Amino acid sequence: MAASPLLTNLKLPPDSTVVSWLGHRVLSSTFHVNCCRHRLHQSRRFSVLAMEAKPTILVAEKLGDAGLKLLKQFANVDCSYNLSLEELCTKISLCDALIVRSGTKVSRDVFEASAGRLRVVGRAGVGIDNVDLAAATEHGCLVVNAPTANTVAAAEHGIALLMAMARNIAQADASIKAGKWERSKYVGVSLVGKTLAVMGFGKVGSEVSRRAKGLGMHVIAHDPYAPADRARAIGVQLVSFEEAIVSADFISLHMPLTASTAKILNDETFAKMKKGVRLVNVARGGVIDEEALVRALDVGIVAQAALDVFTEEPPPRDSKLVQHENVTASPHLGASTMEAQEGVAIEIAEAVLGALKGELAATAVNAPMVSAQVLSELKPYVTLSEKLGRLAVQLVAGGSGVTNVKITYASARGPDDLDTRVLRATIIKGLIEPISSVFVNLVNADFNAKQRGLRLVEERIILDGSPESPLDSIQVQIFNVESRFASAISDFGEINVEGRVKYGIPHLTKVGSFGVDVSLEGSIILCRQVDQPGMIGKVGSILGEENVNVSFMSVGRMAPRKQAIMAIGVDEEPSRKSLRRIGEISAVEEFVYLKL
C-alpha cells in the first residue's frame, strides 16, 4: 500500500518541504510518487496540484460576501440554503468542505453520506453543538470554527437584551404600536448597583462583564476553567456555581452547550435563586430546562427572561416560553451584525481553504492544535515516525496481533518543549494503514487506534546535551508478536525498530538488537547473514543486474565474522527472482523486503 500523506499532508512553509496533515485522498498518490526524491520540489508541486484539483465547497447557510468571494477564488462554491437532511446527504457526497452556521444539523448521517470525501466542516461562528464531532472525528473530517469574529456582537446583544428586559422595551413597543399609552405598566428596574452573575467567563462572558461594569453593576462570574487573573484584570470575582445563582439579581449565560451544561438551570437551581431574578441567555437554549423556566416565571422566581436562543430553533409557534408576557425574545440574533458576519465569513473561509490545502487550522475543534513552527521543526521526524510504524508492522508475522506498542522518544528537550502528538498520530498511521483499508490522519488517529484495540504507551528519555534538535531518536516496539524476520526481535522479545534524522533525512538505526544505518527512502531489504567478506558485493550485483538502484547499504554486526544484519535501501522494487537469489546466497540466513 502506498504511503499516503500522513496527516492528509502536512503543510509546509512555501519554500520548504511540507507534510500536509489533513488527509488529502485526491492528491495522495501523486504526493507519494514525488515525495521520495524531489524533496525540495515537493511542497510546491503539492500546492500546485492542490489548486489544480479545485475543491467543491457547499455553503449551506448565508455567509458574508467577503468570505464567499474568498472561497470562490480557490474553489467551486455551491450556495444551497434550507436543505433537508436528505438533500444535504445527497449533495455532500460531491463536496470536499461544508460551511454552516447554527441552523444546520451536521449529523452522523451527513458524514456517512459523504463516503469519505468531506474533509472539513467549517462552522461560521462559535458553537459547534450542531455538528456531530464524534462522527466527524471517526470519519477523519476536520471541524473548524470561527471563534472570535462574533464575540463583541454576541456580548452587545446580551447587553441589549439585559437593558431591553429591565426596561420592558419590547413589551412597551408592542403596546404603543397597538395604540396604547401604558406608562405605569412598564415601570422597569435599574441595573446600577445590582449583582450580575456571568455564567461562563470566556470570550463573550468577559466582554459582557466589561460592559456591565461600565453600567455600574457588581459583576461576579462562575467558570470552573477560567483563569483567575483574567477575571481580576476586569475586576470580576470568580465564584462557585451555588454562590453565583443565590446572590445574583441578574444572570447572564455564556457557556457552551455540552453534556455537563445541558439543563444546568432547572427546577432545583431555580428554587435556589433570589425571588425576582432576571435571566439573559445568548448562549444556547439547551443550557436551560425550558419547561422549568416557564414554571419559575409563572411563580415569579424568575421575574423576567430575555432569550436569544432556544432548545428547538425556531421554537414552536405556541411555545409557552416565547409567548410568556415576561419573556423578551429574539430569533438567535447574537452574531447578526453586519460587522460580525463579514468577520466570521472571512475567518471561516480562511480556515476552510487552509485546511483544504493541508495547512494547520488554528481553530481546529477536533484535532490537536500544533503551531506551524512546531510542525515545521518536527517535519522530518513526522516522516521518520510514519516509516518506523510501517516498517514495524510489516515485520509482524503472528502472535497476539498488533495491540501493544511502545513509542520511546529520546530527546534533550524537556517534556514541555516537545509536542509529540503529531508523531504519535503518524506512528499510528504507519502501523494501521499497511494492514487495513482505513485512512488515518491527525484527526482520527487515536480513534482508529482505539477501534483496533491498539494500546500505545509513550515514554520519553531525557538526554543530556543541546536541546537544539527536537529529538535524538524514536523507537517503536511491538510486544507479544512473532516476526517474519526473527532478527527484528530484540533480546527482550519484542519487535524493535529505532530511527533518527540525519541531515534532515530519516534513517533506520536499529533493528532488533542490531545497530544499522540506512536512509528510510524507497524500500528496504533486511538480511541476516554470517559476517564475511564479499556479501555486500554479492547482493549489490544481483540488484544491479536488474537495474535496481541501491540508495544505502549498512551492516550491523554483533562481532566480526559472527551474525550481522545488512540493511539495503532500494529505489525500485526488486523482482521476486532477485529476492529469491538473495535468499539463496549461502551465508544469508533470513531476509525480508519491506515497502516504506
Ligand X SMILES: NC(=O)C1=CN([C@@H]2O[C@H](COP(=O)(O)OP(=O)(O)OC[C@H]3O[C@@H](n4cnc5c(N)ncnc54)[C@H](O)[C@@H]3O)[C@@H](O)[C@H]2O)C=CC1
Q: Using the minimum distance from each CB to ligand X, give the nearer residue, 17 or 145.
A: 145
| Cell numbers representing residue 60 in the block | 449551506
* Interaction of residue 307 with ligand HPV, rule CB under 6 A: no
Considering only residues 252 through 271, tell me which ones interact with ligand X, judged by CB under 6 A. 254-257, 260-261
Assess 282 for contact with ligand X (CB under 6 A). yes
Amino acid letter, 556? G
Q: Find the catalytic residue in 24, 254, 332, 413.
A: 332
Cβ at position 122, least distance to ligand X in Å? 15
Strand residues in 189-310 grouped as ranges (E): 195-199, 218-222, 237-238, 250-253, 277-281, 302-307
Q: Which of 28, 150, 209, 477 binds ligand HPV (CB under 6 A)?
A: 150
Helices (H), 273-314: 290-298
Tell me the C-alpha distance between 406 and 430, whole Å. Answer: 14
The shares of helix, strand and coil residues in the chain, as percent rounded to the nearest 5, are: 35, 25, 40
Q: Which three cell numbers stand for residue 72?
A: 470562490
Give the contact letters, 314-353, x = binds to ligand HPV (CB under 6 A), - = no. Answer: ------------------x-xxx-----------------
Q: Toward ligand HPV, which CB reaches closer, 335 or 588?
A: 335
Do the Cβ atoms of 561 and 530 come closer than 8 Å?
Answer: yes
248 binds ligand HPV (CB under 6 A): no
Residue 252 near ligand HPV by CB under 6 A: no
- Residue 131 or 370: the one with the smaller Cβ distance to ligand X is 131
- For ligand HPV, the binding residue among 60, 98, 126, 553 (CB under 6 A) is 126
Stretch that binds ligand HPV, among 97-105, 247-255, 457-465, 471-479 (CB under 6 A): 97-105
Among 127, 205, 380, 512, binds ligand HPV (CB under 6 A): 127
Q: Cell digits for 235? A: 475586576
In whole angstroms, the minimum distance from the beta carbon of 515 to ligand X comes to: 50
Residue 124: which of ligand X, ligand HPV, none does it interact with, CB under 5 to 8 A by kind?
A: ligand HPV
Q: Which residue is nearest to ligand X (CB)?
A: 202
Chain CA centroid to CA 558, Å:
45
Q: Is 284 annotated as catalytic?
A: yes
The answer to whether residue 334 forms part of the interface with ligand X (CB under 6 A) is yes
Dihedrals phi, psi of 494, to nearest 5 degrees? -115, 160
Residue 200 binds ligand X, judged by CB under 6 A:
yes
Report if residue 281 touches ligand HPV, rule: CB under 6 A: no
Does residue 255 belong to the site contacting ligand HPV (CB under 6 A)?
A: no
Q: How many residues bind ligand HPV (CB under 6 A)?
A: 12
Q: What strands lie across the sheet with 550-557, from one edge to the other?
A: 550-557, 563-570, 523-530, 588-595
CB of 231 to ligand X, least distance (A): 10
Q: What b-and-e string marks burial along 419-448, b requiring 16 or more CB atoms within 10 Å of the CB? A: bbbbbbbbbbbbbbbbeeeebbbbbbbbbb
Binding window for ligand X (CB under 6 A); candidates: 62-70, 112-120, 177-185, 327-335:
327-335
Q: Of 55, 122, 205, 506, which one interacts with ligand X (CB under 6 A)?
A: 205
Nearer to ligand X, 257 or 431 (CB): 257
What is d(CA 71, CA 485) in angstroms, rounded to the nearest whole number? 51
Of 102 and 252, nearer to ligand HPV (C-beta) is 102
Q: Does 218 bind ligand X (CB under 6 A)?
A: no
Catalytic residue among 313, 459, 482, 545: 313
Catalytic-residue membership of 313: yes
Q: Which helix (H) or strand (E) holds 176?
A: helix 169-177
Pick left, alpha or beta for residue 69 (phi over 0 → left; psi -120 to 50 → alpha; otherwise beta). alpha
Cell of 446: 487515536
Residue 283 lies near ligand X (rule: CB under 6 A): yes
Q: Angle formed by the axes of helices 338-356 and 151-166, to 10°?
A: 150
Residue nearest to ligand HPV (CB): 125
8 Å CB contact between 376 and 482: no
- CB–CB of 42/18 below 8 Å? yes
In the complex, minimum distance from the CB of residue 231 to ligand HPV, in angstroms, rounded to a whole number: 22
Dihedral over Cα of 351, 355, 358, 361: its sign: positive
Are 250 and 217 within 8 A, CB to CB? yes
Q: Which of 42, 102, 171, 411 binds ligand HPV (CB under 6 A)?
A: 102
- The answer to whether residue 357 forms part of the interface with ligand HPV (CB under 6 A) is no
Return the one option of ligand X, ligand HPV, none that residue 305 interacts with (CB less than 5 to 8 A, by type).
none
Residue whose CB is less far from ligand HPV, 282 or 489: 282
- Asked if 520 contacts 380 with a C-beta cutoff of 8 angstroms, the reply is no
424 is catalytic: no
* 3-state secondary structure at position 45: helix
Interface with ligand HPV by CB under 6 A: which range of 119-127, 230-238, 242-250, 316-324?
A: 119-127
Nearest to 76 by CA among 96, 56, 92, 91: 56
Q: How far apart are CA 281 and CA 354, in angstroms?
A: 33
Q: Which of 50, 63, 146, 204 contacts ligand X by CB under 6 A?
A: 204
- In the bound complex, what is the minimum distance in angstroms from residue 102's beta carbon to ligand HPV? 3
Give me the catalytic one of 101, 123, 284, 413: 284
**Positive or negative torsion for Cα 229, 233, 234, 236:** positive
Say whether 84 sits in a helix, a strand or coil. Answer: coil
**Do the Cβ atoms of 427 and 406 come closer than 8 Å?**
no
Amino acid at 50: A
| Residue 195 near ligand HPV by CB under 6 A | no
Question: How far apart are CB 67 and ligand HPV at their closest, in Å?
Answer: 12
* Residue (75 or 100) nearer to ligand X, CB: 100
Nearer to ligand X, 64 or 512 (CB): 64
First-to-last CA distance in the chain? 9
Binding residues for ligand HPV (CB under 6 A): 101-103, 124-127, 150, 332, 334-336
In the complex, which residues of this chain contact ligand X (CB under 6 A)? 126-127, 147, 150-151, 154, 199-205, 222-226, 254-257, 260-261, 282-284, 308-309, 332, 334-335
Active-site residue list: 284, 313, 332
